[in-house]
Amino acid sequence: MKNILVITLSIAFSGFAFSQNKAINSPKTINANELAMLIGNWEGSLMYLDYTSNKPNTIPSNLVIEAGKNENQLKVANFYPGEPKANNNYKITISKDGTQINKQDIKTKTNEPNGSIKVIVEYNGKDGNDNKKALFRISYLLSEKKYTVEKEVLFEGTEEWILRNRYSYEKK
């Protein structure tokens, strides 16, 4: 359960939210019109890599996403039906110009062929059982009915990205 809380908090601090800049739709910005579809109830799962066993685990996970105090913020309540002690609430905020998600620069934004939007941020930090330096890549895939957040880790001195966790949701 400790791993789940750490994973959840990692996602919470690398999430996304509304942009005040509704007119601009550049490759490195996100706007409120694109994100309005996320408000609602979501049902799905969390897959995470257990570094101790090096095996993936999957547990049910549900979200309730609401508008925050302004158009640049979302309030998220994350529920784990099988592990209620891991439930948490957090806010997701983007910069006024839409170029950052929780103070992390947007690296790319693409419109996918199926109509979804993919946004990627990267940032440096530490991860793993021995707290190694790493580059994190968070990929958000959002659409009217599906929402996925993937966290990948590239440990310093390595060349292979590791899928750390994936939240997959469908709108209820």
Q: What does each C-alpha distance from 43 to 66, 114, 120, 169 come to in angstroms? A: 15, 21, 22, 5
Q: What does the block give as tokens for 130?
A: 């021995």
Q: What does the block give as tokens for 86?
A: 């891991």
CATH class of 2-171: mainly beta
CA–CA gap between residue 166 and residue 61 (Å, rounded): 11
Per residue in 117-147, pLDDT (tens digit) is: 999 999 999 998 889 999 999 999 999 899 9
The residue extents of the domains of the chain are 2-171
More confident: 34 or 87: 87
The secondary structure element, H or E, covering residue 49 is strand 40-50
Which amino acid makes up residue 25? Answer: N
pLDDT range class, residue 26, cuts 50, 70, 90: low
